[in-house]
Amino acid sequence: MSPHLTSRLPEVGTSIFAVMSKMAADCGAINLSQGFPDFPVDHDLIDLIHKHMRAGHNQYAPMPGVSALRQALAEVIATTYPYAPDPDTEITITAGATEALFSSIAAFTAPGSEVIFFEPAYDCYSPAIRLNGGIPVPIALAPPFRIDWQQVEDKISPATRVIIINTPHNPAGVVLQPADLHHLERLAQKFGLLVISDEVYERLIYDGLAHESVLKYPALFRQSVAVFSFGKTFHATGWKVGYTVAPPTLTAEIRKTHQFITFSVNTPVQWALADYLRQPAHYLNLSTFFQRKRDFFLDQLKGSSFEALPCEGSYFQLLSYRTISEKPDMAMAEWLTRTHRVAAIPVSVFYTDKTNHFLLRFCFAKSEETLGRATEILRKL
Ligand SMILES: Cc1ncc(COP(=O)(O)O)c(C=O)c1O
């Protein structure tokens, strides 16, 4: 008898990022779909990993993360936000932000708990909520993707336990303002909610805007988990190292789930990151670096029929193709990849109900050569 298979995620197929990247590879298309850089990781960082591997840092790391890395992070956070987390009780190193999000959702979502988040949404929130018995409560935002906090308050029920925010936002490129964080703080306090704040693009923020981390709002932070990713900050998405920053009682709960999901994270990479973080130049100029890429991409698109939406942060640019085609965005992305050899992500995949706003998401974390070739094609459409 074959096993009784009950899929926990019956409607979930291969992620759109994998689908589009494969389609791009199959068609020889320029891949601006998946969010990863096509330029190299700093060789100094790679040398540091070699150094630590040779020095024998190859066995299990401590469950919460290598102490030197948590210490280095505490210092970076203290100068950035400023909030001085206790590295022993408030910082946990995870297998990328994905695991940080999953471990946090698992820690705070009991069966029947409602979890509010905003769509378009990064694709791992809803499955993680459901796998942990929670009920996803998406709030759909339309361009320009600003949050109506009264609408959020109206969605809060006695079963609501968690709100997930994401700033700078993937895919919309929107950055939350201080007023948003104040609204969130008020609601979190009024209804006793936990906030999971996905801040993986904390250092990719443009036009002089500031990143409004939950770490900057003491009352809000008391009931928050901030989630970060080294993959985004150091152009190394394949290393899958991230971390959470949360008050001690919340961190203790996150570590309970983390220890049974991965237990601990790649040791030599943690040691190398600890050394690398000691030089602020390694992370302080990222906004300038990526803003130049965004501006280059937009500049090269001048004269095209695509309309660019504002991108305040992240490394994604949304383009509306309304004047080019009436196709749904999924069909448009496929046509663009197969016929014109440029791959992008249809924004409808970030909505539970697959709302089509005639928008495609392009990743501009690419070399000027790649962006130049892609925009040359896009300009002609
Ligand atoms: C908003 C957002 N959160 C989380 C992640 C996952 O980060 P990581 O690769 O560190 O798991 C991503 C990756 O694209 C993202 O865009």
Please tell me the predicted confidence (pLDDT) of residue 11. Answer: 85
* Domain boundaries of the chain, sorted by first residue: 16-41+284-379, 59-280
Please tell me the predicted confidence (pLDDT) of residue 35. Answer: 87
Whether omega for the bond prior to residue 144 falls within 30 degrees of 0, making it cis, is: yes
For residue 122, the ligand 1 atom closest to its alpha carbon is: 1
Our answer on whether the CB atom of 35 is closer than 6 Å to any ligand 1 atom is yes
Mutate to test the pocket of ligand 1, among 122, 166, 230 (most ligand atoms within 8 A of CB): 122
Beta bridge partners of 316: 363
Report the relative pairing of strands 224-229 and 160-166 from DSSP bridges.
unpaired
Please tell me the predicted confidence (pLDDT) of residue 1. Answer: 85
| CA 55 / ligand 1 centre spacing (Å) | 30
Task: Let me know how long the chain is.
Answer: 381
Please tell me the predicted confidence (pLDDT) of residue 291. Answer: 97
Our answer on whether the CB atom of 96 is closer than 6 Å to any ligand 1 atom is yes
Our answer on whether the CB atom of 98 is closer than 6 Å to any ligand 1 atom is yes
Please tell me the predicted confidence (pLDDT) of residue 2. Answer: 84
| CA 304 / ligand 1 centre spacing (Å) | 30
Q: Does 59-280 match 16-41+284-379 at the fold level?
A: no
Nearest CA to ligand 1 atom 14: 35
| CA 303 / ligand 1 centre spacing (Å) | 32
* CA separation, residue 14 to residues 30, 124, 189, 328 (Å): 21, 12, 38, 20
Maximum Cα interatomic distance, the chain, rounded to a whole number of Å = 63
Q: What is the rounded CA–CA span in Å between residue 201 and residue 166?
A: 9
| CA 154 / ligand 1 centre spacing (Å) | 29
Joined tokens for residue 18: 């994998």
Our answer on whether the CB atom of 242 is closer than 6 Å to any ligand 1 atom is yes
Cβ pair 315, 171 in contact under 8 A: no
For residue 230, the ligand 1 atom closest to its alpha carbon is: 10
Rounded to 10°, the helix 67-80/267-276 angle is 40
Query: What is the fold of 59-280?
Result: Aspartate Aminotransferase; domain 2 (3.40.640)
Question: With a threshold of 0.95, does the pTM exceed it?
Answer: yes
Our answer on whether the CB atom of 237 is closer than 6 Å to any ligand 1 atom is yes
Please tell me the predicted confidence (pLDDT) of residue 116. Answer: 98
Please tell me the predicted confidence (pLDDT) of residue 173. Answer: 98
Query: What are the helix (H) ranges across the chain?
Result: 16-27, 43-54, 67-80, 96-108, 125-131, 149-155, 178-191, 218-221, 230-233, 248-261, 267-276, 281-284, 286-300, 329-340, 368-379
Residues of the chain with pLDDT under 70: none
Our answer on whether the CB atom of 120 is closer than 6 Å to any ligand 1 atom is no
Please tell me the predicted confidence (pLDDT) of residue 3. Answer: 83
Please tell me the predicted confidence (pLDDT) of residue 12. Answer: 87
Mutate to test the pocket of ligand 1, among 34, 92, 98 (most ligand atoms within 8 A of CB): 98
Nearest CA to ligand 1 atom 7: 97
Q: What is the rounded CA–CA span in Å between residue 307 and residue 301?
A: 9
Query: What is the fold of 16-41+284-379?
Result: Aspartate Aminotransferase, domain 1 (3.90.1150)
